[in-house]
Structure 1
């Protein structure tokens, strides 16, 4: 949806409210008091009323907009910006576009939307041939880490580096003849912010992200990957000492480099406590790059009662 289509479809606050209610009715409303699923709509006060206990639920309650005082049109514009391009928009830029006085509510809104994207990708698992590797993203340490006033280290062990586990579905392309392009076709991907590369951490995240019984894992020969063999159907460990890593694991390294450029160019710096939100936004948009209406999918995800 481009900006002309958006304002043609949602010219004012009321049109956004009506559209949001229609999507909420499709998903259904669950009463917070008795868990009832049948409600009346009180049009005069814009509330749902539970048929079982009479408890009233606002249109925003139980959705991503809960406790937000921002108008529906603000949220819809944010949904449009979040899904209309391959890139991203910073919260500061959204604030400028909305001409809103305060930064904090816009920042909070954008991170709520990113958490919805994270929940949406958690509903499925990767399977088949999967490339796996780690990436190190430069982030801003949280307040507790800054208070310690430790001398910053260099390299992999730096306090500014956040560890990210990257998993990409890919398969060999038998028709690839161009030696400058990857010989594998990419499908879906997941990126997870982790604290360390210990076996327990890796195995836990792997079991949550992939169908282990249907997975053919491809990694480098790092020691922290050696114990993953028993978790998946097949594990191929490749020594990359004399090989170019972008040939062995092409899409993992493209994903890491593209995500780093995106974060640096759009956000300039990201807080360590919110790294997963930015990663989830990148994955959500990449995994739905071929879908026609990603806007409606994000909206449906935003009204799911079980997530809030």
Structure 2
């Protein structure tokens, strides 16, 4: 689906509301009050009524759009624009495409979509052979630290720490073409972390995997007891001072970090640390569905209908 197809398929608000209704009913709609499946559509109220408990459920109830005053068509357009390209797309570009004069509501809408992207990916634990490493993303200096001397290294006020995990294994059949790395990659996860304590890192790995992964890391001490503490089935630490050697053993985490930095920071230039996880959610969601093609919009629509966002940042 290209942009012309989208506007042809969804020419007005009524068509989007009807599509949302059909989409929700097709994907197993049930009563949020009693769990009943016998729901009757009331077109005048734009709601369903449960035939068992008489509870009325609005068209947007239980979705990322619940409580929003923006038209459903704006939400659909934002979802289409987010999935139409692999690169990051700025809120201003989305605002221009959907014809909204006010920036803030569109900014909040897009962040809510990024929030539910993270929720969706959170339901799929990584497994098998895995690479784990940490990255440092440039973010705005916190307001309370702007007058302090700028630190260097991991403790810099301008850097936010991110734990990166990637399913990575050697394919059974060698690829016909020669690639920069012989390993193939599956899904990835990126999680903002407050510190590099072993307890913090192990907690994130345990949360993001099935507990039976074969983990490869560098020689950082916080990874030392992954196997001993039951976080992974096995753990291989690559200890070397040569960064190129580590890059060959852990290629996909470094590729993911590099691509995420280029995609996010080239588009948004300077972002606040408190919003970095949302941008990483979008990057990982797109990366993990890189082969979906034209089905990508439908998958995000399902995601938007299945989760409510926790993101709340109204300043307007």
Shared topology, TM-score over 0.5?
yes
Question: Which stretch of structure 1 is more off in the superposition, 161-170 or 32-41?
Answer: 32-41
What's the offset of the Cα at 1:156? 1.8
* Maintained 8 Å contact 2:116/2:307: no
What's the offset of the Cα at 1:8? 2.2
Aligned residue for 1:228, secondary structure, equals coil
Superposition misfits of 4+ residues, deviation over 3 angstroms: 27-38, 176-180, 305-308
2:179, 2:54 → 1: CA distance? Answer: 65
1:159, 1:177 → 2: CA distance? Answer: 45
- Aligned to 1:158, which of 156, 159, 168? 156
More strand by share: 1
Tell me the residue number matched to 2:61. 61
Tell me the residue number matched to 1:122. 122
What's the offset of the Cα at 1:168? 0.7
What's the offset of the Cα at 1:166? 0.4
Tell me the residue number matched to 1:10. 10
Count residues with an aligned counterpart.
Answer: 304
2:179, 2:306 → 1: CA distance? Answer: 44
Listed one character per residue, the Cα deviations across residues 149-169 of structure 1 (whole Å, up to 9, x for unaligned) are 433212221112111000011
* Maintained 8 Å contact 2:119/2:307: no
Tell me the residue number matched to 1:256. 257
1:241, 1:305 → 2: CA distance? Answer: 44
Tell me the residue number matched to 1:220. 218
Tell me the residue number matched to 2:304. 302
Tell me the residue number matched to 1:87. 87
What's the offset of the Cα at 1:183? 2.0
Tell me the residue number matched to 1:185. 184
Tell me the residue number matched to 2:313. none
1:246, 1:177 → 2: CA distance? Answer: 22
Aligned residue for 2:216, secondary structure, equals strand
Summarize the Cα distance change of 1:296–1:177 in structure 2 as closer, same or farther, 3 Å threshold: closer
Aligned residue for 2:92, secondary structure, equals helix
Question: Which stretch of structure 1 is more off in the superposition, 5-14 or 252-261?
Answer: 5-14
What's the offset of the Cα at 1:4? 2.1
What's the offset of the Cα at 1:178? 7.4
Summarize the Cα distance change of 1:178–1:297 in structure 2 as closer, same or farther, 3 Å threshold: closer
Residue ranges of structure 1 left out of the alignment (5+ in a row): none
* Alpha-carbon RMSD: 2.1
Residue ranges of structure 2 left out of the alignment (5+ in a row): 311-316
2:262, 2:251 → 1: CA distance? Answer: 17
1:154, 1:202 → 2: CA distance? Answer: 22
Summarize the Cα distance change of 1:57–1:172 in structure 2 as closer, same or farther, 3 Å threshold: same
Aligned residue for 1:127, secondary structure, equals coil
Tell me the residue number matched to 2:291. 290
1:154, 1:37 → 2: CA distance? Answer: 58
1:243, 1:302 → 2: CA distance? Answer: 41
Question: Which stretch of structure 1 is more off in the superposition, 94-103 or 161-170?
Answer: 94-103
1:123, 1:155 → 2: CA distance? Answer: 33
What's the offset of the Cα at 1:272? 1.0
Tell me the residue number matched to 1:107. 107
1:55, 1:176 → 2: CA distance? Answer: 56
Tell me the residue number matched to 2:77. 77
What's the offset of the Cα at 1:229? 2.3
TM-score, reference length from structure 1 = 0.92
Aligned pairs (5 A) from 1:172-251: 172-173=170-171, 175=174, 181-213=180-212, 215-230=213-228, 231-242=231-242, 244=244, 245-251=246-252
Summarize the Cα distance change of 1:97–1:238 in structure 2 as closer, same or farther, 3 Å threshold: same
Summarize the Cα distance change of 1:22–1:179 in structure 2 as closer, same or farther, 3 Å threshold: closer
Summarize the Cα distance change of 1:262–1:306 in structure 2 as closer, same or farther, 3 Å threshold: closer
